[in-house]
Structure 1
Amino acid sequence: MALRSPTLLLPLICLLILLVYWPGLSGGYVFDDFPNIVHNDNIRMEHLTPGALASAAFSSGSGPLSRPLSMASFALERHFFGLAPFPMKLTNLLIHVVNTLLGFLLLRALISGLQSRHPERVRLLVSPQTLALLVATAWALAPINLTGVLYVVQRMESLATLFMLAGLLAYVHGRNLVDQGQARRGWSWLLGGLCFGGGLGVLAKETAVMLPLYALLIEWLLFGLGKDNPIMRKHLLRLYGLILVLPGIAALLLYLPGILSGSAYAHRPFTLEERLWTQAHVLWHYLYWIVAPSPGALTLYHDSFPVVRGLFQPWTTLLAVAGLAGLLLGTLKLRRSAPLLTLGILWFFAMHLLVSTALPLEMVYEHRNYLPSLGVFLAVLGLLFTGRDGDSLILGRQALATGLIVIYGFLTFLRANEWSDPVQLAYFEATRQSESPRANHDLGMVLAIIAPDANSIQFSQAMASFAYAASLPNSTLTPLQALVFEHGKHGLPVNPQWWDDMREYVRTNPLSAQDLSALRRLVDAQASGVIRVDTEELGRLIREAYSHHPRRAILATLLANYLLNVAGEAEEAGKYLHRAVALAPRSSLRWAHLIQYQILMGQLSEAHVSLERLQELNSLGRLNDLIADLDHRLALATRAANHRDSRP
């Protein structure tokens, strides 16, 4: 595999990536695509104006920064192409191709740098360019990275990765310039990579905060942290103290109290300890799925992954923890003799230090390995092609590497075909993950959509899927809500047990974003006449949810919505809208709901005060259109009130 110019293959590899993923572009939206894109009217722009784009960009409730770059891209595509998923999936695929090119360039720089600086430690049977190309290709075609491409909302992950890779490439270029004596130019590139790569990255998704850690890893293994230049080392230590240590301490001070007290886990069905023990198993599964994927293991949903309750519950947790510790310690010990292996393994763990430790995230998602898996392939293929000239097994190594890449591409192609049709995908997911409530609920949703009427076999199968999903031990509120919704939609009797089960659920479980969305959909559908269910039963459910979770602003708003638009108790609704803004004073949405209510009820002086509070939240002009609309409504209401008062 001695290619004279491996870069000539890059166009062919890009074409191969497009061909492998192309079948999946015809598929539909899944899971979190719906609340973030399909049902998110805040990204629908009537006119393409800076204010409308800013409002759409900050319309996501995900993360502390709302991921404005990602959301703005969704809003622009929706504005020009509507809600067709094909353009959005195609954009994701093109981002993936760009990431492959950036990954190749970065890997080539890293491998070449390590080999030139430490030729006695990095003995490769192929050129650095060839190894970089093999690693980038394996990563681009790896089945585990499919959800980072075809799962539309995960553009947040791939776009953040794009800026991280570009930032790291600029950092490496700058450090090389510094070592060559071009300090000014070098520092410009170095700092530019960190600032712009990290800054733009976190505006796509907060995982880009790990860019400085990746840069430090490269600095340590490739450049030695300026060990031969005391002045450079001093500058570097100051730099990383400023961009890594201080932000790390600030983050700990901000989040650690809530994590340790358990309040951060109030909305999760597991504790901090249980999450940490479980992640010891999850990380091994990730490594297995990256290197040796199987069609039966990779799936959109992993909500049936068993939660580990303690170090010996089950006892294999001890082995998992010990294995991870041994892998890390062994990797560190081999940093001099096998720097590529060390770089690859630590690259994998660097991101998981954020997403697989104490933060109260869901347990398992494949897309969390989008960037980390690049390190795993570097470690595996770097180890495979490490040896001395004249190695008798070189042909076998080449065949193994080629075979792995072919298998990865073939499995991803098969998986992309599964994603090409929503009904097909739903059946595959429910079959593979038979204990997954989400997979079975989604199958029911797809069947309910294609069912011609309530007497069809598809409708019966949909209800059976909902009922089965609701019966699973780790189920959520959504299957029960779906049973009530579909029966109310088709005028069928609603089983009283479903209401009882939903009330029991909201009493005894933390409510996830999906649970809250399910409750909101019931209220909205009843208010708009889409469904007809027992108003009193619905009210009891919403009141039960609010009484057991009184600190959730969204539930206060939901109860007000029910009282105002379903029960007709307008005066009572105002109390809960005020409660919502008290719980979430920085939420523009809560203030907008309150202002609309105050205008409706003729509380015009109060509405003026609330509008002033909303204007205080108008950073970057993102609320300009909303404020203008509310101000116009308030002005009309004020003129109408003045006209009434002026009548004799």
Structure 2
Amino acid sequence: MSNKSVWSRLPLHLFLIAAVGVIAYSNSFHVPFIFDDEGSITSNNVIKDLHRFLYDDGYLHNPRRFLGYLTVALNYRFGALDVTGYHVVNLAIHIGTGVLTYLLARLTLSTPTLRRDGDDTGTSWFIPLFAALLFVAHPVQTQAVTYVIQRLASLATLFFVASIASYAKARLLQDESSRPFAVKPICFYVLALATAGCAMKTKEIAFTLPFVVVLYEFLFFRMTAAKKILFLLPVALTVLIVPLSLLGTNKPIGQLISDVTAVTRVDSELSRLDYLFTQFPVIATYLRLLVLPVGQNLDYDFPVYHSLASVPVLGSLLLLMALFGAALLLWYRSRDTRTAPEFRLIAFGILWFFITISVESSVIPIADVIFEHRVYLPSVGAFIALAAVFSICFKGAVSRTAVATAGIVVLALTATSFARNQVWGSELSLWGDAVRKSPQKARPHYNLALALEKAGRLDESLQQALIATRLSPKEANPYNLIGTIFGKKGDYDRAIAALSQAVKLDPALAEAQVNLGDAYRLKRMLPQAMEQYQAAMKQRPTDASIYHKIGITFALQQNLPKAAVFFQCAASLDPSTPQYRLDLMRAQAGAQAK
């Protein structure tokens, strides 16, 4: 197939990348907010006032991920909590990253070490297009795209790839220019630095970007050592952005990198060595998912390993060492100009994978040892390498057979992504899927119980919550949910017992204190109710609903003046709720009548 055929045209390539992305995620636009979306979006007051976000609390809320949360604040400004707008932006980011993956691969094949003058095999367009289509269509990406707040991972990847591509373009233009300080190369170089900074202010995974740039320069360009240092030094200095952003934080680095809030996370104390041992099988699982995407799960019940001698650990380590060794061997062989240029491209893709996975899969312990969205950035290199391997399998020539085979692979992956997004369609289906795949893990059962409780299926919810308490008896949240369910059923004695256990396990869980106060109030045990409300108020001093409940309790005690004071506080904190103002007027009228 000629390189000049219709298949080699850039507009068609961009259209195909976008079309595959839209088809794969066409059923994801109404997927609800789930899991960590609650703490980051639906109950996050910081993102609900754009002016406040930009000029007051936005940067203080999370300086390490300011740009990511800025996009969330903009989504809220223009669409409030209409989930469709968030998914449209996430898909646009995903398709944009796919396009950048295509451009990066295409630029890379034009670099001095890979360029083959007079090459008419078609690999210069086929490898970039196939890599981009694999990236956009692959179902392993669904967690980073369909799970709204994982925009932080996908947006950081967008900036990351944009930075590498801009650097590649700057270097290519510089090589072509006869002037040492031509305008176009400088513009692209500045763009590379700017997008590097944006990536690092979106998520900490971008810390590895300068290392990938150094690798890219080393593999694909020829220049004196002095000039290499001149080009690389400004990029290398961006490595300081993430560590400087972490200064002043009191939390462990692993907790800062983690994507799951304390409300829904099952904490675990892992040593650095145990985490490292566990990550060898985790990375092997990521690689397996990239090649064979079956058995995907939002919440894996992944075992923690404590010894290098464990068969899964040792076997995975040997696999990773073999893959790393293959990358070095391919790089070594590619120094011979007679070898296929794909060799060096495969080496680059493999090394990209290992470098970019290192932030979340090395010696920094994170409570959740595996999440599929963590492979989103590493997959860029993996898919470039896979596309190059595919090209070699067809002897570097783009035949109709090669195009047809690649098309079948992309169609199959697109259909699988569509099917996976069906699972994401509701909290019930998503957590039901997780429970089936992780039956011995408490968190999926708890989250399924929450979803069932929202749907009004209280008996089923209670059953799942009880399973969660059995699997993780020291977790307070399932007991809080059990108490809430019993309260809705009118069984206040059981509600008080369960909620008391929740408060005992986690004295800082304000939600359980409020619910316990409600149960006591409905049983007319008003002093006990007041005690719980006041404890919750200390945890949440700006929560208007707690002040309102205290006001109701005072009113039930016939203390209308104090009730009016707390109703006034509630109305001041939340003027948008008319009930607070109405109860205030009633309490004031009642107090005056006395």
Q: TM-score range by the shorter chain?
A: 0.7 to 0.9
Work out which of the residue numbers 318, 325, 329 in structure 2 matches 1:329: 325
Q: Matched residues in 2 for 1:30 and 1:253: separation? A: 30
AA aligned opposite 1:416: N
Q: How has the CA–CA distance of structure 1 residues 85 and 473 changed in structure 2, closer, same or farther, with 3 Å as cutoff?
A: same
Native 8 Å contact 1:201 1:208 kept in 2:
yes
In structure 2, the partner of 1:23 is 27
TM-score, reference length from structure 2: 0.77
In structure 2, the partner of 1:522 is 512
In structure 2, the partner of 1:163 is 159
Native 8 Å contact 1:54 1:72 kept in 2:
no
Q: Matched residues in 2 for 1:305 and 1:537: separation? A: 41
In structure 2, the partner of 1:638 is none
Matches within 5 A, 1:214-363: 214-224=212-222, 226=223, 229-236=224-231, 238-239=233-234, 242-244=237-239, 268-294=268-294, 297-302=295-300, 304-312=301-309, 314-336=310-332, 337=334, 338-361=343-366, 362-363=368-369
Q: How has the CA–CA distance of structure 1 residues 21 and 223 changed in structure 2, closer, same or farther, with 3 Å as cutoff?
A: same
Report the Cα offset of residue 57 of structure 1: 2.9
RMSD between aligned alpha carbons?
4.1
Matches within 5 A, 1:6-17: 6-7=9-10, 8-17=12-21
Q: Matched residues in 2 for 1:495 and 1:25: separation? A: 38
Matched, 1:143 2:139: yes
Q: Matched residues in 1 for 2:530 and 2:324: separation? A: 53
In structure 1, the partner of 2:380 is 374
Identical pairs, percent? 23
Report the Cα offset of residue 521 of structure 1: 2.2
In structure 2, the partner of 1:620 is none
TM-score, reference length from structure 1: 0.71
Q: How has the CA–CA distance of structure 1 residues 437 and 350 changed in structure 2, closer, same or farther, with 3 Å as cutoff?
A: same
String of CA shifts for 1:81-110, please: whole Å, max 9, x gaps: 221111111111111111111221111111
Matched, 1:420 2:455: no
Native 8 Å contact 1:440 1:466 kept in 2:
yes
Q: How has the CA–CA distance of structure 1 residues 390 and 90 changed in structure 2, closer, same or farther, with 3 Å as cutoff?
A: closer
Q: For 2:494, what is the secondary structure of its paired residue?
A: coil
Q: Matched residues in 2 for 1:342 and 1:542: separation? A: 61
Q: Matched residues in 1 for 2:237 and 2:436: separation? A: 50
Matched, 1:430 2:420: no
Work out which of the residue numbers 111, 122, 140 in structure 2 matches 1:113: 111
Q: Matched residues in 2 for 1:183 and 1:209: separation? A: 30
Q: For 1:79, what is the secondary structure of its paired residue?
A: helix
Q: Matched residues in 2 for 1:217 and 1:541: separation? A: 58
Report the Cα offset of residue 469 of structure 1: 2.1
Q: How has the CA–CA distance of structure 1 residues 208 and 397 changed in structure 2, closer, same or farther, with 3 Å as cutoff?
A: same
Matched, 1:188 2:186: yes
In structure 1, the partner of 2:87 is 89
Report the Cα offset of residue 55 of structure 1: 3.8
Report the Cα offset of residue 462 of structure 1: 0.7
Work out which of the residue numbers 450, 472, 480 in structure 1 matches 2:455: 450
In structure 1, the partner of 2:148 is 152
Q: Matched residues in 1 for 2:217 and 2:534: separation? A: 54
Structure 1 spans left out of the alignment, 5+ residues: 452-457, 508-515, 544-553, 569-596, 601-625, 627-648
Q: Matched residues in 1 for 2:165 and 2:481: separation? A: 48
Report the Cα offset of residue 71 of structure 1: 1.7
Q: For 1:67, what is the secondary structure of its paired residue?
A: helix
Report the Cα offset of residue 28 of structure 1: 0.5
Matched, 1:129 2:119: no
Work out which of the residue numbers 12, 36, 39 in structure 1 matches 2:40: 36
Native 8 Å contact 1:440 1:465 kept in 2:
yes
Q: For 1:220, what is the secondary structure of its paired residue?
A: helix
In structure 2, the partner of 1:482 is 481
String of CA shifts for 1:502-521, please: whole Å, max 9, x gaps: 478559xxxxxxxx7xx232
Native 8 Å contact 2:157 2:377 kept in 1:
yes
Report the Cα offset of residue 281 of structure 1: 0.6
Q: How has the CA–CA distance of structure 1 residues 35 and 399 changed in structure 2, closer, same or farther, with 3 Å as cutoff?
A: same
Q: How has the CA–CA distance of structure 1 residues 497 and 396 changed in structure 2, closer, same or farther, with 3 Å as cutoff?
A: farther
Q: How has the CA–CA distance of structure 1 residues 166 and 523 changed in structure 2, closer, same or farther, with 3 Å as cutoff?
A: same
Structure 2 spans left out of the alignment, 5+ residues: 335-342, 551-565, 574-594
Q: How has the CA–CA distance of structure 1 residues 382 and 532 changed in structure 2, closer, same or farther, with 3 Å as cutoff?
A: farther
String of CA shifts for 1:316-343, please: whole Å, max 9, x gaps: 2122223222321231222133211111
Report the Cα offset of residue 258 of structure 1: 6.8
String of CA shifts for 1:391-410, please: whole Å, max 9, x gaps: 7x966654543332121111
In structure 2, the partner of 1:58 is 59
Q: How has the CA–CA distance of structure 1 residues 187 and 404 changed in structure 2, closer, same or farther, with 3 Å as cutoff?
A: same
Native 8 Å contact 2:487 2:495 kept in 1:
no
Report the Cα offset of residue 276 of structure 1: 0.8
Report the Cα offset of residue 211 of structure 1: 2.0
Q: Matched residues in 2 for 1:318 and 1:442: separation? A: 34
